[in-house]
Amino acid sequence: MKKNNDNLYQEAVDKLLEMYQKGEMPEAVSWSIIRRRKGEVAIPSDKWSIGNQMLMYAYGTADARGFKQWNSVNRFVKQGSRAIHILAPCTKKITMKNPDTGMEEEKIFITGFRPIPVFRIEDTDGEPVPVVDYTPDELPPLWEAAENLGIPVTYMPMCRAALGTYKLNENKVNLYSKDAVVYFHELAHAVEHNFVHNLTTLDGEIAEATAEFAAMVLCQITGIEGYEKQGFEYIARYAGKKKKTDKAESVLKMIMSIMSDVEKIVNIILDAAEGILPSKKAPKLEAV
């Protein structure tokens, strides 16, 4: 079976490289984006600014609320838990004359920001918070790979400028799109971090290009077409930062430099989907 996987990998790579060399790629397809369902009760953080939502995600949670907000849903902050802080604007109302109409109008200005303490759901106990399941009826190909590798994958409404994320500190994947290629990309990040390279020590541009090309290869292997152009452009964003060269040339050079790692990642995923698990994990950072 391993030999067959190797053949599938090489055929997919050859097809992609030929497309990229000739510039003959299908037109880009539209992404699917998961949106919150009509009538669904939103959690408080859905109304926060993007900046505050990013702060929340940085602290490893998708739901954070104030002390009283948790109490109102019969959840209570655990003793000894430390709050995280989001930023609320400080405003001032000023009456000004409109130069066009001559009428006095009230204007609100932001004069600064103040920290607001909130607590992560992971730091509370109590009644379960209602959770809406956004998992698609039809799971993407190779779904068993994530399950067998012990990598949790959760679908949720889009709430940030990304179609998916891999959370290093929790070793979990969040998907805001039902496109299989997004699942492949984030799963590739997880596999690379766990079994090939510790991502905290790897150049971010290389890590992104590696995950995207691995996703492109997996799409070819599983018969999913239409994302080749997006994949090419995605890799070009990272490949072109180091040198000013022809886009196709820079993409191909980047792919050649990451090919060995991509092959490892793809084969680990294909094997894991069949229940064959890798025995060696990527080295972790040593304390300095």
Q: Are residues 188 and 210 in the same domain?
A: yes
What is the pTM (predicted TM-score) of this model? 0.77
> For 168-191, what is the mean pLDDT?
95
Q: Give the pLDDT of residue 37.
A: 73
Q: Are residues 108 and 139 in the same domain?
A: no
Q: Are residues 215 and 247 in the same domain?
A: yes
Q: Give the pLDDT of residue 245.
A: 63
Q: Give the pLDDT of residue 243.
A: 55
> Is the residue at 283 inside a domain?
no
**Residue type (1 letter), 287:** A
Domain boundary among 126, 146, 181: 126
Q: Are residues 245 and 120 in the same domain?
A: no
Q: Are residues 23 and 149 in the same domain?
A: yes
Q: Are residues 57 and 25 in the same domain?
A: no
When mean pLDDT is compared over 52-61, 145-154, 238-247, the highest value belongs to 145-154
What tokens does 27 get? 């037109």
Q: Are residues 76 and 179 in the same domain?
A: no
Q: Are residues 149 and 259 in the same domain?
A: yes
> Is the residue at 279 inside a domain?
no
Domain boundary among 71, 96, 126: 126
Q: Are residues 241 and 142 in the same domain?
A: yes
pLDDT tens-digit map of 262-276: 999 999 999 999 999
Share of the chain above pLDDT 70, in %: 93
Q: Are residues 120 and 211 in the same domain?
A: no
Q: Are residues 143 and 213 in the same domain?
A: yes
Confidence of residue 65 (pLDDT cuts 50, 70, 90): very high
Q: Give the pLDDT of residue 284.
A: 64
> Is the residue at 9 inside a domain?
yes
> Is the residue at 284 inside a domain?
no
Q: Are residues 164 and 261 in the same domain?
A: yes
What is the span of the domain harbouring residue 256? Answer: 2-34+132-273
What is the domain count for the chain?
Answer: 2
> Is the residue at 211 inside a domain?
yes
What tokens does 177 get? 């799109």
pLDDT mean across residues, the chain: 89
Domain boundary among 101, 126, 151: 126
Torsion over CA: 18, 21, 26, 30 (sign): positive
